[in-house]
Amino acid sequence: MSLDFDLWRTRFAAHLGDERRLSPHTVAAYLRDLDYLAQFLNQAGLGDWSQIDAQHIRALAGARHRAGAAPRSIQRFLSTLRTFFGYLLREGVLINNPAQDVSAPKLRRSLPHVMDVDQVGRLLDVDSSEPLVIRDRALLELMYSSGLRLSELTGLDLQDIDLRDATVTVTGKGNKTRVLPVGRQAVSAIQRWLTVRAGLAKLDEKALFVNHRGRRLGNGGVQKRLRELGIRQGVDGPLHPHALRHSFATHMLESSGDLRAVQELLGHANISTTQIYTHLDFQHLAEVYDKAHPRAHKSRKS
């Protein structure tokens, strides 16, 4: 069968949109990746689908890498090719998937930004009678107290918080719910917020945290207020709401050493996701060792 790229590109787009019900934005991303494939096939002079093999796909991935594409982009690109060739395989155009066993360069796993205990204390040490500042203190205390994701925090309704039992019920990834303990200072901050929330929230609003218009506070609103509060409180470094979740996990692990418990609290499906915090803990210990151990320093004698 001759290579009729435009025809199969169009049919693949219809497959993604009509059969797999992917969004137009996602379909467009797939098609952008296929444009690189079309250019490569044209330059290589390949005129039949059966001529494409794994070596061609590796060469194409290498070309993307040399062009400056990040490892994550190359991973996504190869995923697109596997999906596209899998579709051609289903349609009888190919007898194997040439991208199936081609691996992408490994991602460098960057360690998340973590605040130390003093930085967290400085950030949360705000005292104001302004309703929105009272709200900010409450939501940040809760995020640090219970290790919530940003989406879990902004998705909370009034019914999800039980101040008598000091627990919060959150809905995480995969629509899974978990019940988490809430610390004493977070309980106190939320109690104070609830006394002023009624003056802001619309009567039919169920969200625990609302904005100045009385509706559910969004993720962007939390990010903006946290940046402003970090500057106001003199906390160094870029502040993102997940820094509080990462700090919660790291501080819990440093104190307890119980990786499984931290995994449950964070709602990680796989413990390998939680293990990044063991690297952070070791990094902290290594820094302490380098500073304190008399045999850790290189001799200054010539």
Confidence check: pLDDT of 300 > 50? no
Smallest CA-to-CA distance from 48 within 10, 13, 90, 98 is with 98
Find the catalytic residue in 20, 173, 202, 213.
173
Percent of the chain whose predicted confidence (pLDDT) is above 70: 80
Q: Is 277 a catalytic residue?
A: yes
pLDDT over 90 (residue 101): no
Whether residue 10 is predicted with pLDDT greater than 90 in this model: the reply is yes
Residue 242 annotated as catalytic? yes
Instruction: Please give the pLDDT value at position 302.
Output: 39
Q: For 125-183, write each residue's pLDDT tens digit.
A: 888 899 999 999 999 999 888 888 888 999 999 999 999 989 999 888 777 888 888 88
List the catalytic residue out of 65, 82, 268, 284: 268
Q: Give the end-to-end CA distance of the chain in Å, rounded to a whole number.
A: 73
| Per annotation, catalytic residue among 149, 216, 225, 246 | 149
Greatest CA separation found in the chain? 76
pLDDT for position 294: 54
Q: Are strands 161-162 and 177-181 parallel, antiparallel or unpaired?
A: unpaired
- Does 84 have pLDDT greater than 90? yes
Q: What is the pLDDT of residues 215-241, one digit of tens each?
A: 999 999 999 998 888 888 888 766 888
Mean pLDDT of 188-205: 95
Choose, from 36, 87, 144, 277, the residue flagged as catalytic: 277
Question: Which of 82, 227, 242, 284 does the annotation list as catalytic?
Answer: 242
pLDDT for 105 beyond 80: no
Enter the pTM of the model: 0.54
- pLDDT bin (cut points 50, 70, 90) of residue 301 is very low
Rounded to 5 degrees, φ, ψ at 111 are -75, 140
